[in-house]
Structure 1
């Protein structure tokens, strides 16, 4: 290129850079200005390369472009994480106070309004989680566990959650697990649950009549493990072949009106595909409009060891949890006044002694003078953040202070946060917004050794023989659903018993002719009753019985029915005892 033309071009380039900078400063916000500057720098670098190094390959330019893209993506992910935190903080208060309101003596109309608030809040939380999940997965900041877990137990839990979503709809929920599927495998149970709930949740959303079926079998075996194939089939609205090609793309939904009609971000399948591929698996979709969809994915899993699977030592009963928590001394570091008021009220209702709204010097003096059991620490406080305060506590010279368990909580939690927590000595983490059950479980998991010993002593006084799973009931939840009205509870229990008697009569009649269709209908009607009285073990038996009817396995149906006849009288005894206790209160 001629020298005169080169000088002229570089002069114009300098003038253009000055104009771009002035425009950015006067007309654009910081993010827009950054994007414009990156674009201009890429253009300038390309032009200078052509002037000064005309023989240089395009690889340098491509590398510069890739670097710019990575920088922009990093900025976007930071922005998403920041916005997520800012939304989660007030949302935590909304969900928390709605939970507390639901425990009050409200009218039926007020309960409906609280339910509406909870539904809207949880929907918003789900959308935020999807966007944040996508941001973390796409940037490679998601952690994947590798632990031994019970696959069959996980599948049962997932199906139970899905079953609660299809009440009052003419939909059959089916599951078939091949006998060659191992019970204990090694991997990330939470990610597998997320994938299954995404896919089954889509089916629940788009199926109005028919069935949803989950099938699992081991498609291949290898040394020390197997490839598991999961298939979710439904009779929903279906997807056109044209749309299947782009269905896994970000922010894509099958049809233009899907978002307005069914809700969602359009990220569910994108996240699902990303997770499956990071687990060395693959996914495919086969669908016909107005007929249904089948989604199949395969993931390799090593075989696990049953000894290493975690045992749930905590009692799921809220009442039992309250008994254990009563008198627990907890210090709360939380700068947001609304969130502080919320958590203090929650803990006080459980009989805890709470210390909050203290300056750091006063907090340290309280930790020295009182025998506290736990510290709840907000990580993202202004001024001295939770990491810095936790470090001061851990470096304190008094062992009474530096050994107190610390549970961090925040509206977002990155991989770096996890590393920092471990380095400082923070014991556990709770993500906002959390449920009351999650808060209680976290406290029970981390409370000081004094309470653990007291709990152990109390357990020694209990009978060692636990009631059979199929005979366990819990009416506390149903009483809450009855707004605390014991008469209504008594009436519902009577209706439940009548339904059980009707079921026994129907099955007895139809077993003679092996009319499995009618038996399946009777079982379908009854399983909601067992869910109502929290008889999860018996509900699972009824679900298995219904599935055996649909699979046309009369011998299995008879076997399960005999088991029902043996265990139901014991369940009814426990039901009557529970009811008698509640009537005395």
Structure 2
């Protein structure tokens, strides 16, 4: 019993010692925990202060941004209002100007219409009145031709008669145009001997070319049996315009006509003509615009009775009706060469 008592006494002492140690450790632990709790409270205070400070700064910055945004918003609204005001004024001004210009345009169109009607009336009257004296001239030409035996006079009468008939056809065309302004330039085919027609044209214009002391040379290679069905009046216009220009710009020189007819196929013959003069010539810069309507070039101030500048433009238009081509080659002060080709239907 004594041994057991001693043993448990020692064990109890050990336990008491351990409990005392544990109590000391728990006291240290509680003290450390208490210190940590106090430290954490301090940290929380610092964090809360930092949060409040950051929140204040953010609120301050947000207020600043809101203020700037409000200013920008106000400026944009004011700018938009000013811009809309300016645009409204411009629209009102442009509308007023458009109304004024439309009024002027309508007035100008009305004036143009009246002028065109007046022009057509004058052209109609002139062409109508010209036809009567031209017919009378034709009658007297025939009477003189019957009474004279002089072959030279008869040749002159042929030229005068041909020219008179050409003028009569032109007067009829002008009258037709005044009746219908929308009518397009087109071929009015008739049947005629090609060689005789070209001969008549060249014979009729020869006296005109001689008025400027120009030598008139004709090289013609056309089968006298070729009969075509085409518009002889427009062929006349082509020759008259080109030869008229050549004579206008040439004095004491020579004008040469090289013309030939070649069969293109069984139904078509191509009339190719080259008209060469030794006159004033055309500059390279003018050649580029030579077929433009009303273009007269740099010689306009030096040549009398220059005309309206429509001759070559009209020739180009007529040549294209025949599915042909026309070109001009020239050097200043060295003469001019005009070449054209037209396709004519063979009459069978």
- TM-score by structure 2 length? 0.55
Aligned partners of 2:84 and 2:303: how far apart in 1? 55
Gaps of 5+ in 1: 35-74, 104-121, 306-585
Aligned partners of 1:95 and 1:300: how far apart in 2? 32
Alpha-carbon contact 2:283-2:330 (below 8 Å) kept: yes
Residues 215 and 145 of structure 1, relative CA distance in 2, 3 Å threshold? same
Q: CA deviation at 1:210?
A: 2.3
Highest relative contact order (Cα 8 Å, sep 6+), 1 or 2? Answer: 2
Residues 148 and 93 of structure 1, relative CA distance in 2, 3 Å threshold? closer
The aligned residue for residue 88 of structure 1 is 123
SS of 2:275's partner is strand
Please give the per-residue CA displacement for 1:60-81, whole angstroms capped at 9, x wherever unaligned.
xxxxxxxxxxxxxxx97x7775
Aligned partners of 1:226 and 1:23: how far apart in 2? 55
Equivalent residues in 2 for 1:358-507, closer than 5 Å: none
Alpha-carbon contact 2:201-2:236 (below 8 Å) kept: yes
Number of positions where the alignment pairs a residue of Structure 1 with one of Structure 2: 233
Equivalent residues in 2 for 1:140-155, closer than 5 Å: 141-155=184-198
The aligned residue for residue 289 of structure 1 is 332
SS of 1:280's partner is coil
Aligned partners of 2:345 and 2:125: how far apart in 1? 42
Residues 167 and 217 of structure 1, relative CA distance in 2, 3 Å threshold? closer
Alpha-carbon contact 2:186-2:321 (below 8 Å) kept: no
**In angstroms, what is the RMSD of aligned CA positions?**
4.1
The aligned residue for residue 173 of structure 1 is 216
Alpha-carbon contact 2:322-2:342 (below 8 Å) kept: yes
Please give the per-residue CA displacement for 1:264-323, whole angstroms capped at 9, x wherever unaligned.
111111111111112211100111222211100111122113xxxxxxxxxxxxxxxxxx
Residues 144 and 259 of structure 1, relative CA distance in 2, 3 Å threshold? farther
Please give the per-residue CA displacement for 1:168-209, whole angstroms capped at 9, x wherever unaligned.
442222222214576211221111111111111111222212
Please tell me whether Structure 1 or Structure 2 has the larger radius of gyration of its CA atoms: 2
Equivalent residues in 2 for 1:258-337, closer than 5 Å: 258=301, 261-305=304-348
Structure ranking higher in helix proportion: 2
Aligned partners of 2:109 and 2:316: how far apart in 1? 34
SS of 2:344's partner is strand
The aligned residue for residue 99 of structure 2 is 21
Q: Which moved more, 1:270-279 or 1:5-14?
A: 5-14
Residues 156 and 251 of structure 1, relative CA distance in 2, 3 Å threshold? same
Aligned partners of 1:146 and 1:203: how far apart in 2? 28
Alpha-carbon contact 1:253-1:259 (below 8 Å) kept: no
**Match for 1:238 among 263, 271, 281?**
281
Q: CA deviation at 1:82?
A: 2.8
Gaps of 5+ in 2: 1-79, 141-166
SS of 1:251's partner is coil
